[in-house]
Amino acid sequence: MEIRRIVTGHDADGKAIVERDEIMGNVKVMPSGHKGCVMWVTDETPAPVEGSEDPALREMGIAPPARGSVLRILELAPGKAAFMHRTDTLDYCICLQGRCAMKLDDDAEVEMKAGDILIQRGTWHGWEGRGEEPCRLAFVLIGGEKPTKHLHEDH
């Protein structure tokens, strides 16, 4: 999986500049067995917009810091079974390319294609690629509250 990331910032005079323009080297195999890449992480909101540290290089699990966020790209391999999990997060999921299904409890599922957007609110779920080509998803996970009613443990 190849992902280009561009990060802006300011020079010493306050002028807007491109600080980073690179192909990400932190692609990893996620617990699901699919390839994933953290693009950015924040620890809290409001998020800092200055600094030279690259938060994408942090070691982390699926969920962001409790009061933070993470932007991650996930590439689903065709035909791989869903890795069912739940996090205490509000997730914005954007299907960038391909087709997939999000599976829920009781074998319920919803199919997605490029351009579709899903809002995930702390539910038990898993992702399956559909079709012959990989499916690429962009996720923004925001630390959230634990649902008052749920059947499954956190991951």
Q: What is the pLDDT of residue 82?
A: 94
The Cα–Cα gap between 107 and 128 comes to: 12
Is residue 72 one of the residues assigned to a domain?
yes
Give the single-character DSSP code of 46. Answer: S
Q: What is the pLDDT of residue 152?
A: 80
Is residue 33 one of the residues assigned to a domain?
yes
The conformational region for residue 51 under phi > 0 = left, psi -120 to 50 = alpha, else beta, is left
Is residue 3 one of the residues assigned to a domain?
no
Is residue 101 one of the residues assigned to a domain?
yes
What's 72's domain CATH number?
2.60.120.10
Q: What is the pLDDT of residue 151?
A: 77
Is residue 18 one of the residues assigned to a domain?
no
149, 82 in Cβ contact below 8 A? no
Count the domains in the chain. Answer: 1
Q: What is the pLDDT of residue 155?
A: 56
Residue 126's domain comprises 26-143
Is residue 80 one of the residues assigned to a domain?
yes
Q: What is the pLDDT of residue 132?
A: 94
Residues 85, 89, 90, 91, Cα dihedral to 10°: -50
**Hey, what amino acid is at 87?**
T
Is residue 105 one of the residues assigned to a domain?
yes
Is residue 111 one of the residues assigned to a domain?
yes
Question: Within 13 Å of residue 72, how many CA atoms lie on the same side as its CB?
Answer: 26
125, 106 in Cβ contact below 8 A? no
Q: Give, for all 155 residues of the chain, the pLDDT tens digit.
A: 999 999 999 999 999 999 999 999 999 999 899 999 999 999 998 998 998 899 999 999 899 999 999 999 999 999 899 999 999 999 999 999 999 999 999 999 999 999 999 999 999 999 999 999 999 999 999 999 988 887 787 65
